Structures are given as C-alpha cells and as structure tokens.
Structure 1
Amino acid sequence: MKGQVDLFLGLDETATPIHNAATSAIQSRAQEQKRVFRLDPTNFEAAARTLEASRQYRILRRLLPRPVATSRMAFPGEKLAIIVDTETTGLDHTQDEVIEIGMVAFSYDDEGRIGDVVGTFSALREPSIPITPEITRLTGITSEMVKGQTINLDAIAAFIQPAHLVIAHNARFDRPFCEHLVQDFALKAWACSHAEVPWFDFGFEGSKLGYLLSQCGWFHQGHRAVEDCHALLEVLTAPLPNDSGCAMSHLLTSARKTLLRIWAEGSPFDMKDELKKRGYRWSDGKDGRLKAWFIEISEDAYETEVEFLRQEVYRRDVEPFTQRITAFERFRAAS
C-alpha cells in the first residue's frame, strides 16, 4: 500500500542482538521471574503463596467448612450463636414457603472471638407449589431435588434452643420466614451481619455475602443455605483492616444497643421531604405496623428528635408514639 512505512525495513532477524547494561538487566529479571514462578503441581498451596508473593496475583481459596467439634470443653463465659439462612419460593413470608434451611452453631465470647463449630443443620422441603425457573436460577434448587422432602421442625427447635443469638445476613428477610416455620425463633435475639456491620467503613465496596467472602480471600458454592452459613462464619471471623478487630465484635456491639423507634403519626404531607432528609422511613402499614413515617435513634438522641418534631413538623407540643427496640424485637415482620 502506498504511503505505508515498513517499520521493520532493514532489520535482519538473523543478526546478533545488541547487548547493553539495560537489556542485560531486563533479561536477568526475566530469568529470576522464571525461577520464582516455577509452580509445583503437587503442592497447590505453595504455588498460591508463590503467586501472592509476586504481588501480581490475588488468590481465592475454596472455602472448606470447619469441622464440627464433637468432644470439647466449654470455655468460661462461652456463649452459643447460630447462623441461619433460608431459601424460599419468593419474598413474601405470608405467602411464600421455605424450601431449604441451613444453620451453623458456634461458640463465641463477649469480645466477639469465635471458637468452635458445635453443630450444623441442613434440610430441604417440598413446597405446596412447583418451584419456578427463576427461583431455581437463584438458588440452584429444583422441584425434583425437594420432591418428598420435609423439614423436622422439632429438630430445628431443639437445635436453636441453647442459642444466645441468631445471625442472618439479611435478618429482615430470614427472621419472618424462620418464625413462620418454627415459633421458637421469635424468642431469640437476632443480629443482621448485612445491616449491622459498617462494611463500607472498613474498605469494602459492597456488603453482599459473595463479595465479602472474596475480599476475605475465599470462594464457595453460593446460594445454598448451609454453604452460605459456613461462608458467613468465616467472614465474621476474618480480621478487618487497620487492626479493627473482626466483624463479629462489631456485630455484637450493634446487637446489644437499644434503639428508640419514633413514629411521626399524622405528620403534615408537605413535611415528607424534610422527614425523609432527616432519615425517616415510610411504613405503608401492610405488615401490621403503623402507616406513618418513623425513625430509629439511640436513646441519648430522643430529646433532640422530639424537639425537632415539635418545632419543625407539628409546630405544637406532641408526645410521639415511641417503641424500644432490642435484638429481641429487631427485624421481626411487624417490628
């Protein structure tokens, strides 16, 4: 083609390459890299550490569930927590059904240090309606897998009976389904590892379980109940950046707090934007709660919030309906 310059014109491929100090250094580094990255196929962990040491690779290891400690001595002050996850036919706990439940029980202390796994539970259940293709896509569970399967509800009640705390990664979703399945769940304190751990403050760009797990260096078979429970346990155990402890300690701190839920019943319609800007959320009343704007605050912020309502919203003296919310009430369907 006219006008095209042949950049390789005049180069003799058989000629002896020019050597200087720079090219020698490059060749030396290349040879060193070859030695560093010689992988041993019989020792994958050593290979993984070699790649990590190069700072050019980030390795994800397959999550292996912790073994259940069958013979163990309880340590002083030990408590028991249960991680629970459910797979369901839909999002509405009043109509949809649990098709799988998984649980992992483990010991912990008041500082959030996690001890042994002391039990696991996993069961499938055939619902009254066929599982839709969309649910199969999300969960990997088919109608054939659950055919004839039932969940032993007495076994669930016995499994959770000694627990001091129940943890779910989306407790506002899982708790209503669990309580509908076994009423004993309603008697337990609940914590949500999705909503009650400030993941963004610790440098995580998202709070979905799969993302958190990968940031901690693992991967797993997601969206199956007991596998997700094992995954969440490792996420709660993993050390956070900047010597911030582990997520379990922060989760416990949040779960121990008592919040006050203030309802702005009958607030003027033209104040909705101000309420929303201040952090109020709207309840449509369909889940048994009031139909009104509400906010959840710490106990020491109560007087300030009531004064805001009196001065800026109602412009008169009011005593708003207020509820005390602890871990025993949080995340319930009508709470």
Structure 2
Amino acid sequence: MQGQADLFLGLDETAAPIRKPFTSDIEVKPGQKRPFRLDAANFEAAVEALEASGQYRVLRRLLPRSVATSRNAVPGEKLAVIVDTETTGLDHTRDEVIEIGMVVFSYDEDGRIGNVVGTFNALREPSLPITPEITRLTGITPDMVVGQTIDLDAVEAFIQPAHLVIAHNARFDRPFCERLAHGFARKAWACSHAEVSWSEFGFEGSKLGYLLSQCGWFHQGHRAIEDCHALLEVLASPLPGNAGCAMSHLLTSARKTLLRIWAEGSPFDMKDELKKRGYRWNDGTDGRPKSWFIEIGEDTYEAELTFLRQEIYRRNVEPFTQKITAFERFRSAS
C-alpha cells in the first residue's frame, strides 16, 4: 500500500488525549479532608493496583494503531480491509452511504495481525437531507456533509490489494459497498459478527461496543473509522481459554464452503418445522426462489437431505443446492 498516502485523507492516527493530573479530596477523618493528586506517570501503576484488588476493572481509551510508513514484506503475508459504512437508512436499494471508513492491515495464515498499512475515511452528501434520527444514530449532521463526496477511484485503488474484506455486519455493509464501488463485489468477505461464535468464548453479546469493552477498551462509537479501529483490536485480542485470537476463528469460517439448500414447494404446514431447523424465508423479490432455505456445511448435506425427504416432503426429492464461498456470502441476495 506504499505510495497511496494520498488516499488516507489526513487522519491524525497518533493523537492522544491530554493527560492532566487527577486531583480530588480524600476524607481522612469525618469532616477532615486532604488533597489527593495522581500524576500521569503513575496512571498505569494505579490501574494495576485497582485491577489486582479484584474489585475494579479499568477500561482504557482506544488509540488507533499508527500506519506503518515502511515495512518489509513477510512471505505468505496477506492484506485485509476492515470496512464500516454509515448510511441514511437500512435499504441498500434506496438509502445512501454518507460515510465510509476503512483500515487495511496485514495478517498471516494463522490469523496473527501485523501492521496497519493504511486508512481511509470520507463523508458524502446524500441526495436527500439527513434526518434527525440518522444524526442521532451516526453523529453525522447535515452540515458535516455539505459539498462532501467520496472519491470512488481512490476507494477502488485502496481495496484492490486486499485478499479479504471484513465488516462487523457484512450482510448490511456489503450491499451498500457494492453499490458504492464495483471492486467490493470481486472480493471475499467475512463477517466478524456472524462468523465468530462469541457466546462460546464467554461473551454475552456480540455488539462491537460490548466486545471492545470486554477486551479492555472504550471508544467513540458509531463513526465509521473509529469502529474500524475498534474492530481491529477486537480481532487481535486473545480469546479466553487459550483459544487464540478472533481473527484466526474468523479466517477458519471464511475459508469454509457452505451449501445453500432451497426447500422449494415445501408444504405450508411444515413452515414451523423448517424455521425451527434454522431455515430462513426468501420472498422472491430479489430474483431468487420464493422459498425457505438454509446454509450448512458440506459435511452435513446428507443429513439435511434425509431430514427434508423424511420429515418435510415425505418423498424422494433433489432440492436446488448452491455452493457458497466467501466471494458469494453476504451479497444483497444472501
């Protein structure tokens, strides 16, 4: 990604909050107080003391990793793009992207994360005014986007070297990104929300802000580039129980080929059984079958076929089946 510094749009990656001494009053005896002062040099020692007590858990402000201006390529190293979009609504066929943020980083075959290679952030003025509700959700006001455009050639150049695109809700972000820039359609995609079994690792939720806090940080959420930096740290953090990092589990899932089975023409009174089994309904408006469908691993295909034949159709059927890889997953028709 060297030579593309013009794409990184002047983000101050190294800015840190100004640390002032913390001063308070400690009550020594009832009604008697003395000043207490904690200097920045002692912050970490104080944090260690608090956490060692077992009574406190301290969150640190997330500071974005700096962009590596020069680095030596490692054999087998690949690049991934974390992307996040802010939009005027939920419908990718009608609503528009008003902000895109991206962070490119290197990783190896085992999912170990290396350097941040580049960042990209841009706002865009939509064709219709941003509503107060969208401003409340995203923090983006109409004044912020006046006259702003996204350089789509720069977006295409930025993602071109990447082997993988990662979003925390790829089913939402991929359709918007593909409508914005055609290069996204040619990439393999992974979803850190859907493809990491967070509950199996002891997490009680999978929202990005919650995952980040469980990893020991807090950040200014919802703006695109801040969420990208937050997701990078979540992916890099070690999971409980010596389970490695989330990035390694995400890669394992992304590399799998799934089979999408369409239960076309299934009896109406079997819909609850299909839903209980994990099938989802497609209404046919996207050009695909108007039918219940499920996505499963290749190793469970025969068992699923037996279920359909014996429990649903009660006859011999050969349901329409598609192979789905990371290049097809999370498309608008997914």
TM-score interval, normalised by the smaller of the two chains: 0.7 to 0.9
Residue ranges of structure 1 left out of the alignment (5+ in a row): 1-29, 31-37
Q: Hey, what's the Cα distance between the residues in 1 that align with 2:169 and 2:40?
A: 40
SS at 2:260's partner residue? strand
Aligned-pair CA distance for 1:332: 0.2
Give the % identical residues: 81
Aligned-pair CA distance for 1:42: 2.8
TM-score of the superposed pair, with normalisation by structure 2: 0.88
Aligned-pair CA distance for 1:39: 6.4
Structure having the higher strand fraction is 2
Paired residues in the alignment total 300
Which moved further from structure 2: 199-208 or 296-305?
A: 296-305
Aligned-pair CA distance for 1:303: 1.5
Alignment of 1:184-203 (within 5 A): 184-203=183-202
What letter matches 2:143 in structure 1? Answer: E
Root mean square deviation, CA, Å: 1.4
Q: Hey, what's the Cα distance between the residues in 2 that align with 1:322 and 1:61?
A: 48
TM-score of the superposed pair, with normalisation by structure 1: 0.87
Q: Hey, what's the Cα distance between the residues in 2 that align with 1:282 and 1:334?
A: 12
The answer to whether the 8 Å contact 1:40/1:46 transfers is no
Deviations 1:276-313 (A, max 9, x none): 11111111123332211111111111112112212221
Matched with 2:244 is: 245
In the alignment, structure 1 residue 137 sits paired with structure 2 residue 116: no
Aligned-pair CA distance for 1:89: 0.1
Q: Hey, what's the Cα distance between the residues in 2 that align with 1:220 and 1:304?
A: 45
Deviations 1:4-48 (A, max 9, x none): xxxxxxxxxxxxxxxxxxxxxxxxxx9xxxxxxx86323222222
Matched with 1:175 is: 174
Matched with 1:289 is: 288
User: Which of structure 1's runs of 4+ aligned residues deviate more than 3 A?
Assistant: none
Question: Kindly tell me: are residues 132 and 45 of structure 1, through their superposed partners in 2, closer, same or farther at Cα, counting changes over 3 Å?
Answer: same
Matched with 2:40 is: 42
SS at 2:319's partner residue? coil
Q: Hey, what's the Cα distance between the residues in 1 that align with 2:110 and 2:205?
A: 25
SS at 1:288's partner residue? coil
Matched with 1:314 is: 313
SS at 2:40's partner residue? coil
Matched with 2:326 is: 327
Alignment of 1:63-142 (within 5 A): 63-142=62-141
The answer to whether the 8 Å contact 1:263/1:293 transfers is yes
What letter matches 1:91 in structure 2? Answer: L
Q: Hey, what's the Cα distance between the residues in 2 that align with 1:201 and 1:54?
A: 28
Q: Hey, what's the Cα distance between the residues in 2 that align with 1:143 and 1:299?
A: 48
Matched with 1:256 is: 255
